[in-house]
Amino acid sequence: MGITEQGYEVGRENYFKSVALAGALPGELENPATSAGNAALGGAEAQEKSAEDITQANNAWVGPVAGMLGSLGKAAIGVAGSGGAGSIPNPSMNDLQNLGMVSPLPSFSGNP
């Protein structure tokens, strides 16, 4: 093998090495960008979760307070038809007449 042929052989080896390195290069350049994007997305998801947790904590008092107010309201006016303590009274006309709150109606017997 002569000098020229050896030069061709070295050139061919260099070419194949450079093609192999160039083929690996895009993957090397994309990985840091991809991992940076994943890190940013992970940070955004963690921030969103934290904000959601804070909102839930800030609104945690609403349910119990609304339940207590509803219970107090029911106890104050009573549940319709319960007849228990705190129920709304429903007096009859006779009860109102006995208490002097209304006058008895005149009764008619026969034809006027």
- Mean pLDDT of the chain, nearest integer: 75
pLDDT at 11 over 80: yes
Q: What mean pLDDT is predicted for residues 36-50?
A: 85
pLDDT: which is higher, 24 or 71: 71
Q: pTM of the entire structure?
A: 0.35
> Lowest-pLDDT range, 14-18, 64-68, 77-81, 103-107?
77-81
Say whether 62 sits in a helix, a strand or coil. helix
Distance CA 36, CA 43 (A): 11
Say whether 11 sits in a helix, a strand or coil. helix
pLDDT: which is higher, 96 or 7: 7
